[in-house]
């Protein structure tokens, strides 16, 4: 397929450079944590439900020619992983709120003063005040005051959707949360292994056919992208624990929100990283993302497949990107 920029806007690297570094952001979170005597117990409860994945070998990637060549989805190869643990859902607004309460952490979107929001998530009043970020991505607006606390911009609130995925989170923000919670971002290999749920070499967490029992078992775009969603379906994230979990107990590994991974992104990933516990650690300017989002549609971007790969600059934040955490056994 011809390469497309996917359904995510991005911050340019020069603009991102004026923001704090990942180390500074993590330090800010840790300083806040150290001042709160009750934090340790809260940390333990945040992710006490991590799912244990035994050490194993699995076929990672794909040889199917249905994605984007520049994404480097293959060649498929046998990858060996040590045992690890991973969260059943993406981090929720409730969990991220606990982190902020304990640390007084301020996200990159809040520091910058804006974040990217899909235009159909805006109120009618807001739609009249904004312009698209570019002619190529006319469905994205860089909305002032949009952030994790106001996921659809002014007038919206995370408090009304505590069990939804936290969004408008940069890779740096996700790292700071992980430092506080004593967890980590999954590597791409860990993410794909867990997302497959024990089904080898399938496109989706439930098999090779997108629909199951004549319905979509995931939150991806329904209707004509990007201007005509199907009646009755809203273009927005759904609760983190929506739909049926995969064979390992993970929810929403197909669609809903993009999920940051630990790796730097490279189209050479499958030919340049080790077959044992692979991690692409050389800086490329973009971090890897997996899973796709509610904005993915086959007519434009089919990166909701398990082998599909996405990427964005680590300071980019948007209304369709969150993260899931992992840990050691």
Residue 183 tokens read as 């967890």
Rounded Cα distance, 194 and 91, in Å: 16
Q: What is the pLDDT of residues 35-85, one digit of tens each?
A: 343 455 567 678 999 999 999 999 999 999 999 999 999 999 999 999 999
Q: Are strands 228-229 and 56-60 parallel, antiparallel or unpaired?
A: unpaired
- Lookup: tokens for 233: 């379906």
Report yes or no: 258 and 320 within 8 Å, Cβ to Cβ.
Answer: yes
Interval 300-310: pLDDT, tens? 899 999 999 99
Q: Write out the DSSP string of 76-90.
A: -EEEEE--EEE-SSP
pLDDT (0 to 100) of residue 35:
39
Look at residue 253 and tell me whether its pLDDT is greater than 50. yes
Confidence of residue 212 (pLDDT cuts 50, 70, 90): confident
Could you read off the pLDDT of 255-300 as tens digits, one per residue?
Answer: 999 999 999 999 999 999 999 999 999 999 999 999 999 999 998 8
Backbone angles phi, psi at 279, to 5 degrees: -155, 125
Could you tell me the end-to-end alpha-carbon distance of the chain, in angstroms, rounded to an integer?
Answer: 39
Considering the domain 13-328, what is its CATH architecture? Answer: Alpha-Beta Complex (3.90)
- Extents of the domains making up the chain: 13-328
Task: Inform me whether the pLDDT recorded for 1 exceeds 60.
Answer: no
């Amino acid at each position: 397929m011809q390469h497309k920029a996917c359904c995510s806007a991005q911050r340019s690297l020069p603009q991102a450079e004026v923001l704090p570094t990942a180390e500074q952001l993590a330090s800010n979170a840790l300083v806040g944590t150290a001042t709160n005597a009750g934090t340790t117990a809260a940390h333990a409860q945040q992710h006490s439900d991590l799912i244990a994945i035994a050490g194993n070998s699995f076929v990672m990637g794909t040889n199917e020619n249905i994605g984007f060549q520049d994404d480097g989805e293959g060649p498929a190869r046998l990858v060996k992983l040590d045992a690890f643990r991973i969260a059943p859902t993406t981090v929720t607004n409730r969990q991220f709120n606990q982190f902020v309460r304990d640390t007084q952490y301020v996200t990159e979107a809040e520091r910058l003063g804006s974040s990217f929001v899909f235009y159909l998530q805006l109120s009618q009043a807001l739609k009249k005040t904004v312009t698209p970020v570019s002619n190529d991505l006319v469905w994205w607006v860089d909305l002032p005051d949009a952030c994790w606390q106001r996921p659809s911009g002014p007038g919206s609130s995370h408090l009304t959707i505590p069990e939804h995925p936290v969004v408008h989170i940069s890779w740096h923000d996700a790292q700071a949360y992980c430092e506080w919670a004593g967890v980590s971002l999954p590597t791409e290999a860990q993410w794909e292994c867990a997302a497959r749920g024990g089904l080898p070499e399938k496109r989706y967490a439930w098999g090779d056919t997108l629909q199951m029992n004549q319905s979509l078992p995931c939150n991806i775009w329904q209707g004509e992208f990007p201007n005509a969603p199907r009646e009755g379906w809203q273009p927005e994230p759904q609760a983190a624990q929506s739909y049926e979990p995969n064979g390992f107990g993970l929810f929403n590994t197909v669609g809903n929100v993009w999920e940051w991974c630990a790796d730097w992104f490279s189209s050479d990933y499958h030919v340049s990283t080790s077959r044992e516990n692979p991690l692409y650690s050389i800086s490329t300017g973009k971090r890897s993302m997996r899973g796709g989002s509610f904005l993915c549609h086959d007519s434009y971007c089919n990166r909701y497949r398990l082998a599909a790969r996405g990427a964005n600059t680590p300071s980019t934040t948007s209304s369709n990107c969150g993260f899931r955490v992992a840990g050691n056994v």
